[in-house]
Amino acid sequence: MSSATDLAVLNTRLALDRTQLAWVRTGFTFITAGIAIDKVTEALHAARLLTHHAWVKGSHVTGLVLVSGSTIILLLAAAGYVRATRALPLSPGGAWLPFNTAVLGVTGLLVLTGVMLTVLALTTHL
């Protein structure tokens, strides 16, 4: 490959990394928002129970949906990242460019956290 092609592949690779990290940042934001919403609605629900004005039995559905939905979306984004990275041409030496392990590591850690929080919410609130 020419040097222009090598630079184009590298530029594409870096763009894929930036996009995946944007998904991680967004997923982290939604997971954090889900936890915050869950805690706020839990406090409001407890206050309503004391005054006998509770509308529902449980109050953590919105937080649970945000946490579990973000986790699923992160898994789909990671699969897209791996698929797009594998579709790139080979490096100048003819070898595959390795995945950015930091990007996949952070994604995996956040997915694991999301799964654990979802399981925790399901087992403690229902």
> pLDDT tens digit string along 47-68?
777 777 766 655 678 888 999 9
Q: Which of 25-39, 56-70, 87-101 has the highest mean pLDDT?
A: 25-39
User: pLDDT-derived band of residue 120, with 50, 70 and 90 as boundaries?
Assistant: confident
- Indicate the SS3 state at residue 58: coil
Domain extents for the chain?
A: 3-125
Residue type, 46: A
* Structure confidence at residue 93 (pLDDT): 59
Q: What is the mean pLDDT of residues 80-89?
A: 87
Contacts 24+ apart (CB under 8 A), 88-96: 88/9, 88/12, 88/13, 89/1, 89/5, 89/9, 91/6, 91/9, 92/1, 92/6
